[in-house]
Amino acid sequence: MPEKIRSIIVGMGGISRSMLRLLAEKPWHEVVAVVDVNEEALRSAGADLSLRQGALYREIEGAFRDSSADVALINSPSEWHYAQTEAALRAGLSPLVAKPLANSFADSQALVTLAAERDIKLGVGQQMRYFRHYLTVAEFVASGALGRIEQIFFFNAKPRHQARNLAGFEQPVLWEMTCHHLDCLFAILPELVPQAVICDGFLPSWSVYDSACMINGLFRFAGGEHMIYHAGYSSQSDCYELRLEGSKGVLRCRGLHMSKNEMTYEFAERGGAFEAVDLDRGRPPTQPWSLFFDRWYDWLKGGGEPHFSGRNNLKVLATIDAAIESLRTGAFAPIAEGERYQAVFRSGG
């Protein structure tokens, strides 16, 4: 990789605009081309990024063929991720793909395999763990104040009463939201190995979605930890709570949503009452994408493999795939020791 990373932006929606605002602060990044099917989005991107008309494309083939670039930032609808990421890999570009990597575990595995065959770094946009409250909780857990954690409650739902691009999406919660939840959970408790999962999905009468947009689940982990899980897009008000119970006490973190830096914390020693604690004192709010990009750049320049590599992200996607299987069968689905996923966990991916 050269010192200045040259990128092609695929999809000029809200995610790309958010990313570009922070990438503009990185002296090592340069946009050389933009791809979008919307002509107005292209014109706007060209003006904002000072790109010539020849650097604006309606399709990826021309951009990947003609542009002198190192990476492709793929922020299109997830049903296009597989084809666009495969094309980027075959063009020799290092893709950074919005989550989920693909809309199936098998397709995600295929992309990881292709990246390995071509010795190309494939990344997934899992930036949520860099929000202040996840960094704070991870630090508190690492301090040992909770002792051995054995019970986890993870609740996060929001009142999204406009389905947008997820209207007809199958399993929108698991693919679009749970992927972030699991990655953040693994950031807090990096030794967790998911053993089995069972989920129930439902559709409230007021929902605007076409398939189950609310999920309740039970997760078992290999170390004896258990998690009660709730997530969705059709709650009637914001819902966020992360509760960790350990041998020494309990930490409760509550707020509006996982993507907000504002959280309240309460701690109770074993058998005691909750008391408010200001765990964020001295830690300013974070810009998750900025921290993510610093880690991404380090990796591109030869640093260690991060959590968001395609290979490592398969741990998250395998867990989601098993949750979907449990919805189909109504029974616990094995994960780490399941025949379908053993290679992911045994390889350290």
Q: Does domain 5-125 have CATH number 3.40.50.720?
A: yes
What is each CA distance from 80 to 50, 205, 248, in whole angstroms?
27, 30, 47
Amino acid at 222: A
Give the pLDDT mean for 283-291: 95
Per-residue tokens: 286: 């974070």
| Domain range list for the chain | 5-125, 128-289+318-334
- CATH class, range 128-289+318-334: alpha beta
Give the model's confidence band at 166: pLDDT under 50 very low, under 70 low, under 90 confident, else very high: confident
Q: What is the pLDDT of residues 221-267, one digit of tens each?
A: 999 999 999 999 999 999 999 999 999 999 999 999 999 888 999 99
Q: Which residues of 42-79 are buried (b: 16+ CB within 10 A; e: fewer)?
A: beebbeebebeeebbbeebeebbeebebbbbbbbbebe
What is the band of 348 on the pLDDT scale with cuts at 50, 70, 90?
low
Say whether 156 sits in a helix, a strand or coil.
strand
- Reported confidence tier of residue 10, pLDDT bands at 50, 70, 90: very high
Q: How far apart are CA 345 and CA 349, in angstroms?
A: 6
Look at residue 349 and tell me whether its pLDDT is greater than 60: no
Residue pLDDT, tens place only, 208-224: 998 889 999 999 999 99
Q: How many helices (H) and strands (E) does the chain have?
A: 11, 15
Q: Are strands 194-202 and 149-159 parallel, antiparallel or unpaired?
A: unpaired
For residue 150, what are its two tokens? 């054995």
